[in-house]
Amino acid sequence: MIEMLNATKLTLLISRNVVHNENLADVLNFISQEDIDWEIFSSLIQHHELLPITYILLKDKSGLIPPSIYKRLETGYFYSLANNMLLWDQFLAIARAFNDWDSPLTPLKGLSFIGDIYPDINYRSMVDIDILVREESLSLAGDILVNMGYNKCLGGLTEAYWRKKQCHIAFLKQLSPSRSVLVEVHWDLDFKRQIDPILPLLWKRTEEKNIEGQRIRFLSCEDTIFSLALHKRRFGNILSLKGVCDLACLINKFKSQINWEYILKWSRTSRIRTTLYFSLAQVNLIDDNIISKAVLKDLGVPYWKRQAIHKLIFKNTFSFADINKTYLMAHFLLYDSIWEPINYIINIPQEQFAKFYGFTPYSEKASLLHRMRLLYMPFGFNSPRRYVGAH
Amino acid sequence: MQGKTVYKKNPNFVARKIDDEIILVPITKDAADFEAIYNLNNPVSVKLWELIDGKRNIEKIEEKVLEEFEVKPEKLEKNIKEFMGDLKKIGAIQ
C-alpha cells in the first residue's frame, strides 16, 4: 500500500472536482484541515498540467494558500488562458479556411473539448492545435495552412519520412518574434501499422456542429476515447492527470450514450485493447465508479499485463523518480503484442526521441543523436528528462 | 470632438469574454509577459468593449450604455474618455 502525501491527495481531489464539479467543499475542507507541502503540490499540478483548473477553483480562497503559491497559480492561469485564446483564434481561422475549400477537419484533444466537456477555454491548458484531416486531403490542408502564413516543419527530415513514420505533419506560424503557433495536421490517430486503417468508420461517425460561426466536424465520443488512448503511444506525458481528466470527464458526461460494443469490437479488430485498458485504468485512479468493471474485463487484457498496468499507474503517477524508466516501461504496456513497442523504439520518430531525452525537437543535436540512436539509447537512458509539454 | 470619434478593435488583439470579464491578449507581445494580458472586469467596461465595432461613434456608444446602466451622463462621458484613452494606450483600439 502506497502512503500518499497530503499534496498528492489534494491533487487527486482537484482532479475529481474537474470530473464531478461538486466536490469543492471537500477540497476546501482538506486544505483547511491538513498540513500541505505547497511546493510539492505546486510541482504536482504543474507536472499534471492542472494549474488552470486549480486556480479557477481556488481563486476566491487566496487566504487558504501561501501568497507565493497563489501568485504562481495566478500567473500560470493567465499565461495558459492567453495562450489558449491565441490557439482558439487561430483554430477558428483555420476552420474558416477549410470550410471555404469544403475540406472537413476535426479537432483532436483539447480543442475538441471546449464548450463541451469543459465550459470554456480557460479550464485546460493547451500546447498546440491538433487537427485531423482525411489522408487524401493532406496536400490541400498543407496548401491552406501555407496560404495562411504557416510553414511546414519537417525538422530536417524529408516529407516522405513523416508520411511513412508519423501520423502528423507540423506547421508553424510566427505571430511575432516571441509568439508562434504550432499546428499538427494528423491524417490518422496512430502510426502506420499492419492494420490499416485502424478505425475505418471514424469519419462516417463524425458529427458536424456550429462553433462560433464555423461548421466543424467532431469525432464521436467513442472515437474520441480511442484518440485519447492512442495519443499515449507517442511518448507524451503518459501519466499526466490532464489527459486522465479529459477521458474521465468525457466518459462521465456521455456514460448513458457510449456505445461500448463499438469500442470493444474495434479495440479487438484494431489491436488497441491494451492501450485502451491502460487509459481506462487511469480513470479509476480518479474515480473507480466511472468505468464499469465489465468493460475492463471484456477488453480481455491478460492478467499479468493488467497487474503490471495497475502497479505502474499507482506507483508512478505521483512520483518524479526514474521518469525515463517509467516511460519506457509504460510503453511496453500500451500494445497488444510485444513486437510493436520494440519496433517502435528501434524506429522511434525523431520528434519523440527528442522529447524522451529532453532535447529541443528538430535541433541539430536531436537530429544527429537520432541518427545514432541505437548507439546512444543505452548511454542516454539515464539522462534527465525535461517535460516539453509542461509549463 | 470625442463624441464623433469612431474606434475599431485592433485585429492584433484577441479578446474573449470569460465569466463576466473581457480578457484581452495582444498577439504581438511576449507570450510569457504576464503584464501584457488585460482584463476588463466591470460591467460598464465589458459593455463598452462589446459596443466598439468600427461603426458606432462615442455618442452612440454612450447612448447605448445609458439605456442599460443607471449612471450620470457626465460621469459616463468622463469614464468613456478615460477608458478609450487606456485602450488606445495599450493598442487595443485604433
Q: What is the pLDDT of residue A326?
A: 78
Question: Is pLDDT above 70 for B33?
Answer: no
- CA A275 to CA A267: how far, in whole Å? 9
Q: What is the pLDDT of residue A2?
A: 60
Neighboring chain A residues of B31 at a CB cutoff of 8 Å: 79, 82-83, 178-179
Instruction: Tell me if chain B has a CB within 8 Å of the CB of A93.
Output: no
Q: Please identify which residue in the block is written with the cell numbers 472515437.
A: A223
Degrees (nearest 5) of the Cα angle B27, B33, B37? 60
Across chain A, mean pLDDT equals: 87
A43-53: average pLDDT: 94
Q: What is the pLDDT of residue A391?
A: 28
Q: What is the pLDDT of residues A198-242, one digit of tens each?
A: 889 999 999 999 998 999 999 999 999 999 999 888 756 789 999
Instruction: Tell me if chain B has a CB within 8 Å of the CB of A164.
Output: no
Residue A295: band (very low, low, confident or very high) from pLDDT cuts 50, 70, 90: very high
Q: What is the pLDDT of residue B30?
A: 58
Classify residue B71 as left (phi > 0), alpha (psi -120 to 50) or beta: beta
Interchain CB distance below 8 Å, A175 and B27: yes
Residue A356: band (very low, low, confident or very high) from pLDDT cuts 50, 70, 90: confident
Q: Please identify which residue in the block is written with the cell numbers 519537417.
A: A154
Interchain CB distance below 8 Å, A81 and B23: yes
Min distance A350 CA to chain B CA atoms (Å): 27
3-state secondary structure of A170: strand
Question: Is pLDDT above 70 for A383?
Answer: no
Q: What is the pLDDT of residues A254-287, one digit of tens each?
A: 989 999 999 999 999 988 999 999 999 999 999 8
Neighbours of B78 (CB within 10 A): 11
Residue A389: band (very low, low, confident or very high) from pLDDT cuts 50, 70, 90: very low
Residue A23: band (very low, low, confident or very high) from pLDDT cuts 50, 70, 90: confident
Neighboring chain B residues of A182 at a CB cutoff of 8 Å: none
Residue A332: band (very low, low, confident or very high) from pLDDT cuts 50, 70, 90: confident
| Beta-carbon pairs below 8 A across chains A and B | 44
| Secondary structure (DSSP) of A81-132 | HHHHHHHHHHHHHHHHHHHHTT---EE-THHHHBTTTBSSTTSS---SEEEE
Lowest-pLDDT choice from A157-171, A235-249, A299-313, A367-381:
A367-381
Q: What is the pLDDT of residue A155?
A: 75
What contacts A139, CB < 8 A, 6 or more positions away?
A: none
A160-189: average pLDDT: 88
Q: Considering chain A, what percentage of its residues have pLDDT values greater than 90? A: 56
User: Can you list the alpha helix ranges (DSSP code H) found in B1-94?
Assistant: 43-51, 58-68, 73-90
